[in-house]
């Protein structure tokens, strides 16, 4: 007699859509999500980037199934085994899964990279995915997505804290792009190669003083505009940060605007897309693993000079550093999720009140509890001049199911 199907975990709304699907895949619990933009009169149901993420999830897993209602406002998802890149199961001849993003995608490619990197350590094989198509945006976006530069320098090093070697993780930016008209489309090309699969993440103890900022690194990028914009952004950012930190290095990256097929042009005409510029800054502390990042990009409609981008990004970084804690808002969900999925021991993380009080982190705590993880323990730090919180997270011991079966 076959075992009965487990009950669905039920959620409402489109917020934390990708993270709930990731938790469902890691824990093996099916989910039912309803009320996805059901009150929207013009665009109810799943957005193009959410549909594209479902296709990506189907490509890197085996046995997963999903059902979407006619209006797109309800979805049921049965998770499968995280297989990664396996020949004959969606991988191309060069051992890479090709995933094309639609031209009406308004989210940056980090919207897909962040959840994909959470799945990769628990994969049965290496996770190699190439993002292509007219919808790839490598820069930051006005929707809150970070740039690929911040993802590479501020998120991927965090995996080393859990015994997942960052040296075996590679992010290749083959073509840069900024948001296109009305913030949709970009035409970039990004490849993630994640070869650090583990049986179980290590327990994290990052509850000491965050330390002092010892250096700042960054990337100023522009596509399809004058390369002098990079120098103007770097100059203004250094003007703000030089009195605070002496070791500052900001690289300049210029790429021509990507060409994508133009449906309105006769024959095989192409048009330039993804024109713009932006700045990514990452501050490294004297304590290993403590990183703070900031991202600012020019809006698609223009109307802002490079000097303003440099100033805004520098002040944004200073504000994030001032909040304190050992992890910033951009990396909090990654760290807390890996702590919850790790070995059955209590890990501790020092986090600021501002980061802990964000809607994303509080929602993550509720979702983890729904998926069977233990509740978090909170207590203030012992220091009198600090207002940080020590978060205690007990691992659920989920680990790598593929490694268990192998």
Domain ranges of the chain: 205-323, 329-394
Q: Which two tokens stand for residue 241?
A: 């940060």
Percent of the chain with pLDDT strictly greater than 70? 93
Q: What is the mean pLDDT of residues 162-175?
A: 93
- Looking at residue 148, its pLDDT comes to 96
**Whose CA is closest to 108, among 283, 250, 253, 297?**
297
- Looking at residue 296, its pLDDT comes to 95
Number of Cβ within 10 Å of residue 208's Cβ equals 12
Rounded to the nearest angstrom, the gap between the alpha carbon of residue 391 and the centroid of all alpha carbons in its chain is 22
Q: What is the mean pLDDT of residues 294-313?
A: 93
Q: What is the mean pLDDT of residues 280-306?
A: 93
d(CA 376, CA 396): 12
The band of 4, judged by pLDDT with boundaries at 50, 70 and 90, is: very low
Higher pLDDT, 398 or 25: 25
The sheet that has 248-255: what strands, in order across it? 248-255, 213-223, 276-285, 291-297
Q: Which two tokens stand for residue 167?
A: 């040296």
What are the strands, taking DSSP E only, across 145-240?
Answer: 169-175, 189-194, 205-206, 213-223
Q: What is the mean pLDDT of residues 279-297?
A: 95
**Whose CA is closest to 72, among 51, 56, 101?**
51
d(CA 136, CA 29): 30
User: In this model, does residue 113 exceed pLDDT 90?
Assistant: yes
Is residue 73 helix, strand or coil?
Answer: coil
- Mark out the alpha helices in 89-168 (DSSP H runs): 110-119, 148-150
d(CA 60, CA 386): 43
d(CA 10, CA 369): 13
Number of Cβ within 10 Å of residue 227's Cβ equals 13
- Looking at residue 311, its pLDDT comes to 96
Residues 338-347: tens digit of each pLDDT: 999 988 889 9
Rounded to the nearest angstrom, the gap between the alpha carbon of residue 198 and the centroid of all alpha carbons in its chain is 20
Contact predicate 296/278, CB 8 Å: yes
d(CA 67, CA 88): 24
**Whose CA is closest to 116, among 12, 21, 36, 46?**
21
Q: Which two tokens stand for residue 115?
A: 């959840």
Q: What is the DSSP letter of 122?
A: G
Range of lowest pLDDT (227-231, 254-258, 325-329, 401-405): 401-405
The mean pLDDT of the chain is 89
User: In this model, does residue 308 exceed pLDDT 90?
Assistant: yes
- Looking at residue 406, its pLDDT comes to 39
Nearest 5°: the CA angle 348, 354, 359 is 90
Range of lowest pLDDT (105-109, 124-128, 261-265, 359-363): 261-265
Q: Tell how strand 31-34 and strand 9-12 pair up.
A: parallel
d(CA 174, CA 205): 36
Residues 80-110: tens digit of each pLDDT: 999 988 765 556 656 899 999 998 899 999 9
Number of Cβ within 10 Å of residue 329's Cβ equals 20
Q: Which two tokens stand for residue 361?
A: 């982190």
Is residue 349 helix, strand or coil?
Answer: strand
User: In this model, does residue 73 exceed pLDDT 50?
Assistant: yes
User: In this model, does residue 404 exceed pLDDT 50?
Assistant: no
Number of Cβ within 10 Å of residue 164's Cβ equals 21
Q: Tell how strand 31-34 and strand 75-78 pair up.
A: antiparallel
Contact predicate 298/276, CB 8 Å: yes
Q: How many residues does the chain have?
A: 406
d(CA 99, CA 16): 22
Fold category of 205-323 in CATH: Dihydrodipicolinate Reductase; domain 2 (3.30.360)
- Looking at residue 154, its pLDDT comes to 95
HEC string for 254-283: EECCCEEECCCCCCCCEEECCCEEEEEEEE
């Amino acid at each position: 007699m076959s075992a009965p199907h487990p009950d669905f975990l039920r959620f409402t709304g489109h917020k934390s859509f990708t993270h709930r699907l990731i938790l469902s895949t890691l824990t093996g619990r099916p989910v039912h999500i309803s009320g996805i933009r059901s009150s929207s009169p013009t665009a109810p149901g799943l957005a193009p980037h959410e549909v594209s993420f479902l296709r990506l999830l189907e490509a890197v897993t085996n046995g997963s199934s999903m059902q979407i209602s006619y209006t797109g406002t309800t979805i049921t998802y049965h998770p499968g085994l995280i297989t990664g890149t396996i020949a004959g199961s969606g991988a191309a001849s060069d051992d890479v899964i090709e995933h094309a993003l639609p031209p009406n995608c308004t989210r940056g490619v980090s919207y897909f990279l962040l959840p994909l990197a959470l799945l990769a350590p628990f994969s049965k094989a290496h996770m190699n995915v190439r993002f292509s198509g007219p919808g790839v945006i490598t820069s930051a976006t006005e929707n809150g997505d970070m740039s690929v530069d911040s993802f590479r320098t501020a998120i991927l090093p965090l995996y080393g804290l859990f015994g997942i070697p960052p040296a075996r993780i590679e992010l290749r930016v083959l073509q840069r792009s900024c948001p296109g008209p009305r913030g949709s489309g970009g035409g970039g090309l990004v490849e993630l190669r994640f070869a650090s699969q583990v049986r179980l993440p290590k327990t994290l103890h990052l509850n000491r003083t965050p330390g002092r900022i010892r250096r700042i690194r960054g990337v100023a990028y522009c596509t399809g505009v004058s390369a002098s914009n990079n120098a103007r952004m770097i100059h203004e950012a250094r003007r703000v940060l030089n009195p605070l930190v002496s070791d500052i290095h900001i690289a300049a990256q210029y790429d021509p605007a990507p060409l994508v097929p133009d449906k309105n042009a006769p024959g095989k005409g192409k048009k330039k897309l993804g024109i713009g510029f932006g700045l990514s800054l990452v501050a490294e502390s004297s304590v290993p693993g403590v990183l703070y990042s900031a991202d600012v990009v020019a809006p698609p409609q223009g109307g802002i000079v490079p000097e303003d981008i440099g100033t805004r990004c520098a002040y944004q970084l200073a504000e994030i550093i001032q909040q304190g804690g050992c992890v910033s808002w951009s990396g909090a969900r990654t760290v807390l999720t890996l702590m919850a999925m790790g070995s059955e021991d209590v890990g501790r993380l020092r986090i600021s009140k501002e980061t802990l009080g964000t809607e994303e982190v509080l929602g993550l705590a509720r979702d983890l509890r729904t998926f069977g993880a233990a509740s978090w323990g909170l207590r203030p730090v012992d220091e009198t001049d600090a207002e940080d919180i020590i978060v205690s997270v007990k691992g659920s011991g989920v680990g790598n199911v593929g490694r268990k079966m192998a």
